[in-house]
Amino acid sequence: MYSTDLRTDAEKRRAQKADAKRSVEDAAFLDAFQARIDAGDIIEAKDIMPEGYRKTLVRQISQHAHSEIVGMLPEGNWVTRAPTLRRKLILLAKIQDEAGHGLYLYSAAETLGRSRDDMVADLLSGKAKYSTIFTYPTPTWADMGTIGWLVDGAAITNQIPLCRCSFGPYARAMVRVCKEESFHQRQGYEIVTTLAQGTPEQKQMAQESLDRIWWPSLMMFGPPDGASAHSSQNMKWKIKRHSNDELRQRFIDTTVPQAEFLGLKIPDPDLKWNEERGRYDFGDIDWSEMWAVIKGGGICGKARIRARKAAHKEGEWVRAAAAAYAQKRNSEKAA
Ligand code: 3HC
C-alpha cells in the first residue's frame, strides 16, 4: 500500500511518452479531472492527472516527508538525557515512528514519478522546505513534553483531514501516521502533566517551554489564508480539506482547555473565549518571524541540515550494500 513506484523501466518509459503526448492540458481534460474530484473519486498513482496536481502533491508530500525526518533531530537531542529508562524507551519509539512516517511519505511521493534520491538531494542542498517548527532548539526536558503535546497535536489537527485527501497513496499513509501521532500527542501531554503537577521548578520548566513553543506551533499551519499561495487550488483538488486559518483555530480551541486543566498559561494576552463565535479569539501572530524561518533564518536551520548531511554520508555504505544485494537477487532471478 505504501510501496514505491513498482512499474518496470519499460512501463515508466511508456507512461512518460503518454505524459508528453498529453502535454496540452485542454479545458475538457481539466474539467473531466475536476469532475472526478467533485464526485469524490480517489486518484491513484497510475491515473491520468494534470501536471499541476502531480507537482503540488510531490511538493507537499516531500515537504511533509522532510519534516518528519528533520523532526527527529530536536527530540534525538534528548535520548541520552531522558530522566528515566521508561521515558528514554518511549522517546526512542516515538523518534523511530517519525522515521517510519518519513519513509511512507517518500514512498507515496515516489509513486508520482519523483525519486527519493532527488527529493533527499533537494533537502540536503537547502532547496526543499520542511516545517518551520523543527528549526527551533529544545534546551529543556520539558520541550519533549511540549513538542508531543503541541507539535504532534498541531500535526494531527492538520493531518486528520489529509486521510481524506483525493490522492490515494497519501491519504492511506496518513491513516497510520495519524494513529501514531495521536499516541505521540498523549505521551507529550503526560510529560507536561507530570511536570505541571510536580515541584514549583518543574511547573516553571513546563510553563517556560510552553511560552517558547506556543507561537511557533501556530505557525505550523502555514501563512494566513489571504497569503496562502496554494490553498485555494489545493482545496479545489481536495488535497487540503480546510484552510490554514480554520485548522489553526481548531487547534487553539482544542488546546486552550488542555492548558487550563494543567494550570499553565498560554502566552497570549489577547486570548479570550468569544461567546458569539463559540471559538477563542487570539492575538496577532508574528508572520515576519515565520517568513524569516521559511527563508532559512531559523535558529537551528543550518545545524539541522548539517546533521542530515552527516547522516546521509554515514549511511552511504548501507545504501551501496542494499543496492548490491538487490542487484544480486535480480540477476539470480533472471538466471
Ligand atoms: N513551514 C515551512 N514551510 C511552510 C510552512 C511551515 N510551517 N507553512 C507554509 N509553508 C510554505 C509552503 O510549503 C509553501 O511553500 P512553497 O510554495 O515553496 O512550496 C509556502 O509556504 C506557502 O504556503 P501555502 O499555505 O500556500 O502552502 P500549502 O497550501 O502547501 O500549506 C501546509 C502549507 C499547511 C504546511 C501544507 O503543505 C500541509 O498541510 N502539509 C502537510 C503537512 C505537513 O507537511 N506537516 C509538517 C508538520 S510536521 C510533522 O508532521 C511531523 C510530526 O512528527 C510532528
Protein residues with CB under 6 Å of any ligand 1 atom? 59-60, 63-64, 67-68, 71, 98, 129, 131-132, 151-152, 155, 158, 219-223, 228-231, 234, 240, 244, 294
Q: What is the pLDDT of residues 272-308, one digit of tens each?
A: 999 999 999 999 999 999 999 999 889 999 999 999 9
3-state secondary structure 261-273: HHCCCCCCCCCEE
Please identify, by atom number, the ligand 1 atom nearest to the C-alpha of residue 229: 26
Q: How far is the CA of 275 from the centre of ligand 1 (A)?
A: 31
Element (H, E) at 274: strand 272-274
- Helix (H) and strand (E) counts in the chain: 15, 2
Spatial neighbors of 53 by CB under 8 A, at least 6 apart, are 33, 43, 237, 239
Q: How far is the CA of 228 from the centre of ligand 1 (A)?
A: 10
Output b/e per residue, 31-44; b: 16+ Cβ within 10 A: eebeeebeeeebbe
Element (H, E) at 18: helix 9-21
Cα angle at 69 between 65 and 44, to 5 degrees? Answer: 20
Q: What is the pLDDT of residues 73-127, one digit of tens each?
A: 999 999 999 999 999 999 999 999 999 999 999 999 999 999 999 999 999 999 9
Q: How far apart are CA 211 and CA 195, in angstroms?
A: 15
| Residue 212 DSSP symbol | H
pLDDT tier at 149, thresholds 50, 70, 90: very high
Q: What is the pLDDT of residues 6-62, one digit of tens each?
A: 666 667 666 666 665 555 688 999 999 999 999 999 999 999 999 999 999 999 999
Please give the model's pTM, rounded to 2 decimal places: 0.92
Please identify, by atom number, the ligand 1 atom nearest to the C-alpha of residue 221: 34
Answer whether 68's CB lies under 8 Å from 102's CB.
Answer: yes
Query: Over the chain, what is the mean pLDDT?
Result: 94
Q: How far is the CA of 311 from the centre of ligand 1 (A)?
A: 24
Residue nearest to atom 5 of ligand 1 (CA): 222
Q: Which of 62, 127, 131 to mutate to test the pocket of ligand 1 (most atoms within 8 A of CB)?
A: 131
Give the sign of the dihedral formed by CA 114, CA 171, CA 238, CA 227: negative
